[in-house]
Structure 1
Amino acid sequence: MAKQKKETKDKALEVTLWDAANKLRGSVEPAEYKHVVLSLIFLKFASDKFEVQRAKLIAEGKGKYVEMPEFYNMNNVFFLEETSRWNFLIKKSKQNDIALLIDTALHTIEKNNKSLRGALPDNYFSRLGLDVTKLSSLLDTINDIDTTKDPKQDLVGKVYEYFLSKFALAEGKGKGEFYTPKSIVNLIAEMIEPYKGIIYDPACGSGGMFVQSIKFIEAHHGNKKEISIYGQEYTNTTYKLAKMNLAIRGISGNLGEKAANTFLDDQHKDLKADFIMANPPFNQKDWRADTELTDDPRWQGYEVPPKSNANYAWILTMVSKLSENGIAGFILANGALSGGGEEYKIRRKLIENDLVEAILVLPRNLFYTTDISVTLWIVNKNKKAQIKQVGDAARSYRDRQKEILFMDLRQMGEPFEKKYTQFSDNDIKRVVDTYHTWQTSTSSATAVGTDYQDIPEFCYSASFDEIAKKDFSLVPSKYIEFVNRDENIDFDEKMKGLQTDFAELLKAEEQSRQELMAVFKELGYEIKL
């Protein structure tokens, strides 16, 4: 009961903050005011930690050091000059120049703390011309958050995550690409198990993959100090969001010197990652010019990805970044499963090189930016027999050379925010258990409940020969057995058939049109179109 009350209280705080933020609506779009709100939450959080450390120094008789940055940074606390502290801003919150004071505070914090370089909005509040009364009201609401009351609850992190999701929902389709829904990130983390080593995300958005990785480690009693985080983000404002998101939680990460295009300005050229988690842009067009990147080392041994679609450029970028035993979990549009041309050649080589481990087709409406069904790929540089340490237990992995596990999750999920879907904890457990059982099992024909088995409408382990016979298609419905619905229809074959029928109909229509025009011409009339 106490836990339920605590969750209700936290939720009420999040909703209250959201309502206060919504008062800024009108002249300011969600894409803009999210930076206002999240920056203020960060400022309150940084100030609270500063004040706790300051009080500690005084209590320990070290009062002469309270204005020395070194005595804050040593405990992972940002040093704040007086004009950057929350109490100073609250006292000035009703003044007409409060926006300028906030901008100055953020600029000063960034200047004094190396890890925040490039993370905080620059001259943002003044530029937006915010209503002083509404901004003051928002400051008062945020002032009620006690960010240090219960560090184990990560209250600020929860509020920050809640706001990111709400802003993504508010921005809707075509926007909000900075945010990957939590249940998807959680599924990837539970599947690839990023316990120890380097984690990389080449399109890190607001940093959700990193946050969930750390949560996974904490939930399984791992050591956060054994993880190193690297990422890159193209959009400058989203790059700032990611840096703030990590700073809020005290997570150290290298996101590169600046926001930059991963293809054209790789910030981590020599990186080899043990784990990659990513949700790159779907079906990105014109990602390179005709002559750009044609001899890039990331495609070595493969065809050059087509410039019309970046899906396979993302795949090869991630493959090139994996360490000898590295594993990647990433989201792509379903079209990558069966594309032709250069995509076909790359996909075939990936399968022949025994890199593709699992393909999971996800439900529709998981994302706030698109309603299409997408795919989770698991690419593993070491699918062969190995002993893997998982928490306190050693897991034996059998040789599944060139086999691929296909899973269909489209019937999973629970309603979320009325029109969206999210995975439940039970959904994630079923998928993860099936995947790990498949990895560790010695046969797909043993007794039910003791080892992996193919399950109609859910999963199927396909051999290399089966995949080759399907011309290296990775469409799950080509392999998984469907018995209770029409999913046994081969979508690609059906579409090709419809394409042929439609072409014949158009041809017949054109012929009829020509014949009709000829009749009118014979009668002395000419139809001009």
Structure 2
Amino acid sequence: MNQTNLSALIWSVADLLRGDYKQSDYGKVILPFTVLRRLDCVLESTKDAVLAEEKAKRQMGVNPELFLLRVSGQSFYNVSPLDMKKLLGDPDHIKANLLSYLHGFSDDVRDIFEQFDVQTQIDRLAKTNLLYQVTERFAQVDLHPNRVSNSQMGLVFEELIRKFAELSNETAGEHFTPREVIRLMVNLLFIEDDAVLAKPGVVRTLYDPTAGTGGMLSVAGEYLEEHNPEARLTMFGQELNPESYAICKADMLIKGQDVANIVFGNTFSEDGHPQRTFDYMLSNPPFGVEWKKVEKAIRQEHETLGFSGRFGPGLPRVSDGSLLFLLHLISKMRPAIDGGSRLGIVLNGSPLFTGGAGSGESEIRRYVLENDLVEAIIGLPTDMFYNTGISTYVWILSNRKPEHRRGLVQLIDASGLWQKMRKSLGSKRKELSDAHIAEITRLFGECREAYDGKKPISRLFKNSDFGYRTITVERPLRDEAGNIVLGLKGKQKGKPQPDTSRRDTENVPLAEDVETYFQREVLPHAQDAWIDHDKTKVGYEIPFNRHFYVFEPPRPLADIDADLKRCTDRILTMIEGLSA
């Protein structure tokens, strides 16, 4: 059964809820019951053995927990004699028995259902006489791992969340990232380390500060398992949305990960992994979301800890926290001397160029470029995400660049690599095929300039190519007679005074001498101008699209005239026909 059919089957529970529940509340029932049925199926084959082991250890006066984990073969267990099918044998006590069954799970699972606030939904379903029917419907769905893989199960959860988000006018894209985008990012993250990752018994850590339902962590784990079954990826994450966190934690639990590594809370104000660094990191933070709610905590960390904290380089405007996530990830990089780190993050276009010299955004770009952290930026097609059609970019950063990448930034224009989806999902109308992912991965791996015909698709730049100096150009203040006004005291005595109404600025590339630029570009037009060097600021921006622009000369004027004449003649002929 594919995930679409499986989702449709689970979705049919909505028919039971209609009338007693608003559409926007369907997910409050369907998501936790789907998780419950999945866990129920996973434990099915070891149920009797776990109950026997629990009884034996209790009689011996021994804490059974470690023994039960071993017998269950999972990182969780359930000591209730009930399961979802047995619950159906006693309709009159369905509520009490269901709560008893939930209480039989180990602590981590009980926390998952607390995040879903499942007690409230059980009470509500019982009052509307729907609890038995809902339990019965889910008990009929076979979610055993032999029938539904972990990867397939993840897609089921994502599709359900997307549907619920649409019904409640929420933003589905805040919860998860399209799987083909994750596969691309994972490819780019691991490609330069394939030799290391292929070693037997290798262990690496992966972190996602905006984990959502755990899609990025899962795809990365699947990649490593496919390429080296003996390798192990220890996963860490943090998530703010309670339902997404619960699903992520359940998914990690089934995968045998340590779910204590998945933390609930706001990454900015409650860093769930303080002082910890990671080998790899992935993130798709929400686009253009303000950080006003946590502004006090972030500014305090910036001002008191500086570069010893996460936000030393600078703070972006409060209306867009995207670059805060980038700084957070950079702070989690393992020192280069200890092996270093690589990370991938999805951002919109704003972090590339928003903010002039001296602004928080520019200072953050300056920090990552002057410290040679940016390996590549890949421009994706529009209409790739569920909640927005805007252009998006994958940034790949590392503090252990291979020799051939040092001092360079690779820009890849992948905006033309896409195929149309058979059915749109929200704003998502395009997708990357396996061939497109392979092509982008190849371009990145080769790290050289490449063209598709005359159009560039991969370009290499020095870090300094994105830097500039903003100089302040002053013009003298003149009195009513047109004479230059001079300063009368202090350092300004005898010097021309600037006319603030005629003040201007110029951006000079870092590679160019400021005086040479000034003499060539400014003095021919304003011979009385001068530079106020005290106001000079260094800025950085990455004008991505400009570097891939290909000039197309206009058509010859004669051809345009000929087209206009043909059009005019056709209109005149039509008018003559009407008047005839």
In the other structure, the counterpart of 1:33 is: 26
Q: Residues 381 and 29 (structure 1 numbering): CA distance in 2 closer, same or farther, change over 3 Å?
A: farther
Identity %: 20
Paired residue type of 2:375: E
The letter of the residue matching 1:142 is F
Q: Give the Cα separation in 2 of the matches to 1:17 and 1:126.
A: 18
In 1, the alpha carbon distance for the partners of 2:281 and 2:407 equals 21
Aligned counterpart, 2:436: 427
Name the residue aligned to 2:288.
283
The answer to whether the 8 A contact 1:110-1:117 is kept is no
Contact persistence 2:301–2:311 (CA under 8 A): no
Query: What corresponds to 1:459 in structure 2?
Result: 458
Alpha-carbon contact 1:84-1:109 (below 8 Å) kept: no
User: Matches of 1:428 and 1:130 in 2, distance apart?
Assistant: 49
Residue 460 of structure 1: CA displacement? 1.8
Q: Kindly provide the CA deviation profile for residues 176-219 of structure 1, in whole angstroms up to 9, marking residues without a partner as x.
A: 22222211111111110285411111111111111111111122
**Following the alignment from structure 1 to structure 2, what is the Cα–Cα distance between the partners of residues 206 and 221?**
25
Q: Which residue of 2 aligns with 1:332?
A: 347
Q: Shift in Å at residue 254 of structure 1?
A: 3.5
Shift of residue 149, structure 1, vs aligned partner:
6.6
* Alpha carbons 2:13, 2:30 under 8 Å: kept: no
Select 1:318's aligned residue among 299, 311, 329.
329
Q: Secondary structure at the match of 1:273?
A: coil
State the one-letter code of the partner of 2:323: Y
Q: Counterparts of 1:346 and 1:432 in 2: how far apart (Å)?
A: 27
Deviations 1:432-472 (A, max 9, x none): 1111121xxxx65xxxxxxx668725322222343334963
The 3-state SS of whatever aligns with 2:441 is helix
Q: Which amino acid aligns with 2:80?
A: E
Partner of 1:167: 161
Distance 1:56 1:80, change over 3 A: closer
For the 8 Å contact 2:211–2:239, the answer to whether it is kept is yes
- Alignment check: 8 A CA contact 2:420 2:431 kept: yes
1:3-24 per-position Cα deviation (integer Å, ceiling 9, x unaligned): xxx65xx653342222334543
- The question of whether the paired residues in 1 share the 8 Å contact of 2:50 and 2:68 is answered with no
Contact 1:57 1:66 in 2 (8 A): no
Give secondary structure in 2 for the equivalent of 1:109. coil
Q: Distance in 2 between matches of 1:107 and 1:414?
A: 47
> Contact 1:233–1:262 (CA<8 Å) still a contact in 2?
yes
**For residues 232 and 22 of structure 1, what CA distance do their matches in structure 2 show?**
34
Alignment-mate amino acid for residue 466 of structure 1: D
Q: Secondary structure at the match of 2:443?
A: helix
Provide the residue aligned with 2:302 in structure 1. Answer: 294
* Structure 1 residues 94-109: aligned runs within 5 Å: 94-95=91-92, 98=94, 101-109=97-105
Alignment of 1:77-226 (within 5 A): 78-82=76-80, 85-92=83-90, 94-95=91-92, 98=94, 101-111=97-107, 121-129=117-125, 135-148=131-144, 150=146, 154=149, 157-172=151-166, 174-176=170-172, 177-193=174-190, 195=197, 196-223=203-230, 226=232
When the two chains are superposed, the root-mean-square deviation of aligned CA atoms in Å is 3.4
Q: CA offsets per residue over residues 334-383 of structure 1, 9 Å max, x none?
A: 11110112101211221111111111222222222223222211111112
Identify if the C-alpha distance between structure 1 residues 162 and 434 changes in structure 2 by more than 3 Å, giving closer, same or farther. Answer: same
SS of the equivalent of 2:411 reads strand
Q: Is the 2:375–2:397 Cα contact (8 Å) retained in structure 1? A: yes
2:418 is the counterpart of 1:407: no
Opposite residue 277 of structure 2, the aligned amino acid is K
Equivalent pair of 2:380/2:393 in contact (CA under 8 Å):
yes
Q: What CA distance in whole angstroms lies between the structure 2 residues aligned with 1:21 and 1:38?
A: 11
Counterpart of 2:374 (choices 320, 334, 356) is 356
Contact 1:100 1:126 in 2 (8 A): no
Q: Match for 1:252: what amino acid?
A: D
**Letter of the aligned partner of 2:216 in structure 1?**
M
Change (3 A) 1:113 1:84: farther
1:518 corresponds in structure 2 to none
Q: Which amino acid aligns with 2:331?
A: S
| Helix, strand or coil at the partner of 1:230 | strand
> Counterpart amino acid of 1:475?
P
Decide which of 6, 10, 35 is 1:17's aligned counterpart: 10
Q: Give the partner amino acid of 2:546.
A: K
Distance (Å, rounded) in 1 between the aligned partners of 2:311 and 2:153: 44
Partner Cα distance (1:171, 1:477) in 2:
33
The 2-side partners of 1:37 and 1:62 are apart by 32
Q: With structure 2 as the length reference, what TM-score do the two structures score?
A: 0.68
Partner of 2:474: none
Q: How far 1:222 moved relative to its partner?
A: 3.7
Q: Which residue of 1 aligns with 2:393?
A: 375
Determine the structure 1 residue equivalent to 2:543.
Answer: 475
Q: Is this contact kept in 2: 1:312–1:346, CA < 8 A?
A: yes
Q: Aligned match of 1:46 in 29, 39, 52?
A: 39
Aligned with 1:331: secondary structure?
strand
CA distance in 2, matches of 1:435, 1:140: 51
In the alignment of these two chains, the number of paired residues is: 448
Deviation at 1:272, TM superposition (A): 0.6
Distance (Å, rounded) in 2 between the aligned partners of 1:259 and 1:63: 30
Q: Which ranges of structure 2 fall in alignment gaps of 5 or more residues?
A: 59-63, 198-202, 468-508, 511-538, 555-580
Equivalent residue runs for 1:232-271 within 5 Å:
232-255=238-261, 259-271=264-276
Deviations along 1:252-281, whole A, 9 cap, x unmatched?
Answer: 34445x522111111111111111111112
Name the structure 1 match of 2:531. Answer: none
Q: Distance in 2 between matches of 1:69 and 1:311?
A: 42
Which of the residues 65, 68, 75 maps onto 1:72? Answer: 68
Is the Cα contact below 8 Å between 1:260 and 1:267 reproduced in 2? yes
The aligned residue for residue 492 of structure 1 is none
* TM-score of the aligned structures, taking structure 1 as reference length: 0.74
CA contact (8 A) 1:179 1:205 kept: yes
